[in-house]
Chains A and B, each alone.
Chain A
Amino acid sequence: MPVNALTVVRAGALTTVQDLGRPGYAHLGVPRSGALDEPAHRLANRLVGNAARCATLETTVNGCALRTGAAVTFAVTGAPCPVRVDGRPGAWGAPVRAPAGAVVEVGPASAGLRSYLAFAGGVAVPPVLGSRSRDLLSGLGPEPLVDGASLPLGPVCGPPGAADAVPCAAPPTAELVLPLVPGPRDDWFTGDALRTLAGGGFRVSPASNRVGLRTEGPALRRAREGELPSEGVVLGAVQVPPDGRPVVFLADHPTTGGYPVVGVVPAPALAGAAQAVPGVAVRFVPVRG
């Protein structure tokens, strides 16, 4: 094992290696994947002096813990959470130095769902199709973390970034407001479907995952029946299955789909969707393309 490898002490509920994903392969059925809260991923990398494309760890709900092989700088962003080095509190949203053999702990999220843990040099597992992201839909990329696993780190590429304040949106706790550009298949729904979307009667479903943010609430009514032949689907597409409950497609979404897409949430708004816990109210605000 290389001296600068990490050992997983506590994998957490779901911790995956993520980077900016593998765009450019949708025509082969390969999802884009990548960090669900991309601004948080980029910030974590910046704080430790990494390029944006370096891989970080994306935790879910209850964090994770790793033992360092050598002294290393790390940073935690995304969902706010306790950060500890050998049990002693460390800063969230700032570079932290951990000595060799120390246990770096990311605690449970106090708000939001997903925290991002960047190490100087980045997690250097072998890339698949140019990306180290774990894609949970098609199973590409490194397996989710398991206790005892070892993760190599790459060579340190720059000094940690200094920051007085970190620009980071707070996770949506009361309501997730998502802008929505109608189309391409909004004409498959009745005229009041957009009003229903804007009405705010939806909640984040516990069935949400990296593939999609599922919702509970009123059903959107179809203006036309029948089946739509499968067609290409983009990140942020709001697909409506036969039960009428909108699903917002996130990073691991399938590249084609056969249910009509009523509108698209522009990518910058999806970081909020990545952090919305089950039960949070969801409102779609129609905007012009």
Chain B
Amino acid sequence: MTTPGPGRPRALPVGRDALLLEVGGPEEAQALHAELLRRRTAGDLPPVREIVPAARTVLLDGVADPRALAADLTRRAVPPLTTEGSAPVVLPVHYDGPDLAEVAALWGVAEDAVARIHSGCEFRVAFCGFSPGFGYLTGLPERLHVPRRATPRTAVPAGSLALAGPYTGVYPSASPGGWQLIGRTDTVLWDPDREPAALLSPGTRVRFEACP
């Protein structure tokens, strides 16, 4: 649809009232998402029904004139993501998951070091999906990335803390899943009767705290 300038997002048409903005990677996608939210708050974005960030894209859905918006958004540079803002959400975790030994082996550390290493990282919700309130958290250094389990579990309990590739996640409700389970939290991540229903939404900073 529109050719970007250097460092600008690329806009792809999606039907008649949406567009997909594509950038180089996860960091830039988070920066673009933060910038779009900032512009919306500042009244500097036309009305849009949904802003959906993902791994390297942000979808804008329910836009009156996607072509005009694409031309506007691909012309402007995206400021880099800042780490300032509100305090992180702190999730108390029991690091006692069934895959703790496997993850420790993959990291080349003792089992009891996993809690210290993981809780020492600062995370950020890059995007949500899979099920309501499930956040894909970035922040784990690349050397700690682990593969998914060869065979997914048919049942993962709610509150399970899990790792896969670059992401950390907490299952908001019981579901099947193939991520490596290293712990669990009692904090309720998703409650449709609560405002907000999702404890974690894109852009939320997160820290895990090891429970004794």
Please report A residues at the B interface, Cβ cutoff 8 Å: 23-30, 128-129, 138, 140, 181, 183-185, 229-234, 236-237, 254-256, 261, 264-266, 289
Contact = CB atoms under 8 A, between A and B. Distances in A.
- Among A26, A27, A230, A256, find the residue whose CB has the most chain B CB atoms closer than 10 A: A27
Contacts of B50: 23-24, 26-27, 232
Contact of B61 (A26, A30, A129, A181): A26
A254 B56 contact: no
A229 B16 contact: no
A234 B66 CA distance: 14
B54 A229 contact: yes
Contacts of B129: 29, 230, 254-256
A129 B192 contact: yes
B201 interface: yes
A183 B62 contact: no
Closest 6 CB pairs of A and B: A232-B59, A264-B15, A232-B52, A229-B55, A184-B12, A256-B129
Contacts of B132: 25, 28-30, 138, 140
A27 B202 contact: yes
Nearest to A128: B192
Interface residues of B, number: 35
B38 to A, nearest CB: 15
B187 interface: no
B143 to A, nearest CB: 21
A231 B16 contact: no
B59 A129 contact: no
A23 B17 CA distance: 14
Interface in B71-122: none
Contacts of B53: 27, 232
Given A27-B52, A28-B198, A256-B52, A234 B59 contact: yes
B52 to A, nearest CB: 3
Given A29-B130, A232-B59, A255-B129, A181 B15 contact: yes
Nearest to A32: B50
Chain A contact residues: helix, strand, loop or mixed? loop
Contacts of B52: 26-27, 232, 255-256
Contact of B127 (A128, A183, A233, A256): A256
Contacts of B168: none
Contacts of A234: 14-15, 18, 59, 61
A128 B201 CA distance: 18
Given A23-B50, A232-B50, A28 B12 contact: no
Given A27-B201, A231-B54, 17 more contacts: A25-B197, A26-B52, A27-B50, A27-B202, A28-B128, A28-B201, A128-B192, A138-B131, A140-B132, A229-B57, A230-B127, A232-B52, A232-B61, A234-B14, A234-B61, A256-B129, A264-B15
A231 B23 CA distance: 12
B20 A231 contact: yes
B13 A289 contact: yes
A229 B14 contact: no
A25 B49 CA distance: 9
Nearest to A141: B192
Contacts of A138: 131-132
- Among B14, B54, B55, B197, find the residue whose CB has the most chain A CB atoms closer than 10 A: B14
22 contacts: A23-B49, A23-B50, A25-B197, A26-B52, A27-B50, A27-B127, A28-B128, A28-B198, A129-B197, A140-B132, A183-B12, A185-B12, A229-B54, A230-B129, A231-B55, A231-B57, A232-B20, A232-B50, A232-B59, A232-B61, A255-B129, A289-B66
